[in-house]
Amino acid sequence: MQKTFYVVGNLKMNMLSCDEAGQYLSVLKREMRGREFSFTQGVICPSFLYLSLFDHLPSGLTKGAQNLFPEKSGAYTGEISPVMLKNDGVTHVILGHSERRLYAGETDEDVREKVLAALKYHLVPVVCIGETKEERAREETEEVLLRQVKAVFDGLSKLQAESIMIAYEPRWAIGTDVLPTTSEILQVRVFLRKFLTETFDASVAERVVILYGGSVKSSFLPAISWEAQVDGVLVGRESLFPYELVKMMEMFENEAKKEKTKKRI
Ligand code: PGA
């Protein structure tokens, strides 16, 4: 089975007006012009406020959200429901991002509830997991990741499990330009595959998309993605440059084509 690669752009709380978001979008559309993506999907996640601007994206791109509230509707002031997102054409939703864990106090249990709500309304959850610098120094990475994935995956059906995308984002690598090595990322991938095989089976482990996130730039892609055997990247700052985002999609597309040829030989 030919895999799809993903480039998820997390625009975070950037762009201060509809005009600014609109300008970003026109540049993005211009960069996408004339390009075809058969094996790579881009997901662009703007602020809720601008989601409706991001309709009619070029093929190869869909829109995602940065959060949701795990209820369909009701008296939840200031929140956004998964059904609102779905009805607006959103395909993916980033959940459990470390900035939400840090600034909004989201716990593993909150993340689980949100993941269940996303699955219920057919949104693909992009679940962020990752250890802090201190946890890494204490060699607790696997313990932390295990706690975070267990909270999300325990008790799910195989079908639910394989609809989830995991983004491994070491907290110390976000916004810092400090990156893990290829072998560190590969080790995490192996660890996650083992967890999924033991909890479900090898085919679920094979299907769950695993991304890397944290200081991603196109120039780092070989080391942090295909050499580390992940299925794509979650990009913060660099996604604010449409040129970079599309370049990464193109690099993944070329890599996928190479893999295809390799398989044919
Ligand atoms: P960064 O952010 O690429 O700016 O490090 C990544 C993220 O927070 O998802």
What CATH number corresponds to the domain at position 158? 3.20.20.70
Instruction: Tell which atom from ligand 1 comes closest to the C-alpha of 12.
Output: 8
Domain that holds residue 254: 5-264
186 Cα: distance to centroid of ligand 1 (angstroms): 19
Structural domains of the chain, count? 1
Instruction: Tell which atom from ligand 1 comes closest to the C-alpha of 173.
Output: 5
Backbone dihedral region of 139: left (phi > 0), alpha (psi from -120 to 50 degrees) or beta? Answer: left
Q: Indicate if 20 belongs to the active site.
A: no
- Ligand 1 lined by 213 (C-beta under 6 Å): yes
Q: Report the length, in residues, of the chain.
A: 265
Nearest CA to ligand 1 atom 7: 236
Q: Indicate if 169 belongs to the active site.
A: yes
Nearest CA to ligand 1 atom 3: 236
Query: What per-residue confidence (pLDDT) applies to 1?
Result: 64
Query: What per-residue confidence (pLDDT) applies to 4?
Result: 94
Residue 124 in tokens? 């693909």
Nearest CA to ligand 1 atom 6: 236
Query: What per-residue confidence (pLDDT) applies to 265?
Result: 45
Q: Which residues of 151-179 are buried (b: 16+ CB within 10 A; e: fewer)?
A: bbbeebeeebbbbbbbbbbbbbbbeeeeb
176 Cα: distance to centroid of ligand 1 (angstroms): 9
- Ligand 1 lined by 9 (C-beta under 6 Å): no
Query: What per-residue confidence (pLDDT) applies to 105?
Result: 97
Ranges of residues in the chain whose predicted pLDDT is under 50? 264-265
Catalytic residue among 97, 106, 131, 238: 97
CA–CA dist 34, 32 (Å, integer)? 6
Query: What per-residue confidence (pLDDT) applies to 198?
Result: 97
